[in-house]
Structure 1
Amino acid sequence: MTLGIGWVILIAIIALVAGAALGFFIAKKYMMDYLKKNPPINEQMLRTLMMQMGQKPSQKKINQMMRAMNNQNPGK
């Protein structure tokens, strides 16, 4: 009877490790696809956006806006 309990525990541990590994790779693929579709904003994108809104962006203004955006997202 103890042999059966040992197998159950072993299978549970194997399933847990396999599930964690599979979940990691699925999450990694999802994040890579998400970042490919929605890239983080950079200076060139900000400059283009400002020009489309009719503003003439100076480098000082671009740097100021990038700094403000980075301060809002401290995790980056």
Structure 2
Amino acid sequence: MGTGLWILVVILALVAGVALGFFIARRYMMSYLKKNPPINEQMLKMMMMQMGMKPSQKKINQMMAAMNKQQGK
């Protein structure tokens, strides 16, 4: 029965490690996205204005579509 007990311990440790890893990765990604939000239309408009461009809504929509296509959404 010693071998069966070791197998059970290994399986339980594996399940606990996967669960713990999932929650740690989830917390890390949530904090990362809070610190570095993805680019939205407002941020894109501000960037264009800083570069000296006068952004139109059509141009912003085109750039957002190109960025979404690049990311594979």
User: TM above 0.5, one fold?
Assistant: yes
Residue 64 (structure 1) shift: 0.4
Summarize deviations over 1:2-31 as a string: whole Å, max 9, x none: x10011001001000000000000000110
Aligned CA RMSD, in angstroms, stands at: 0.6
% of aligned pairs identical? 74
Gaps of 5+ in 2: none
Q: Which of 9, 12, 15 is residue 13 of structure 2 equivalent to?
A: 15
Q: Which of 24, 27, 34 is residue 26 of structure 1 equivalent to?
A: 24
The separation in 2 between residues aligned to 1:48 and 1:73, in whole angstroms, is 21
Question: Which residue number corresponds to residue 72 of structure 1?
Answer: 70
Gaps of 5+ in 1: none
In the superposition, the TM-score normalised over structure 2's length comes to: 0.97
The separation in 2 between residues aligned to 1:45 and 1:14, in whole angstroms, is 46
Q: Which stretches of structure 1, 4 residues or longer, exceed 3 Å deviation after superposition?
A: none
Q: Which of 41, 53, 58 is residue 60 of structure 1 equivalent to?
A: 58
Summarize deviations over 1:5-60 as a string: whole Å, max 9, x none: 01100100100000000000000011001101110000000001101111100000
Q: Which of 19, 40, 43 is residue 42 of structure 1 equivalent to?
A: 40
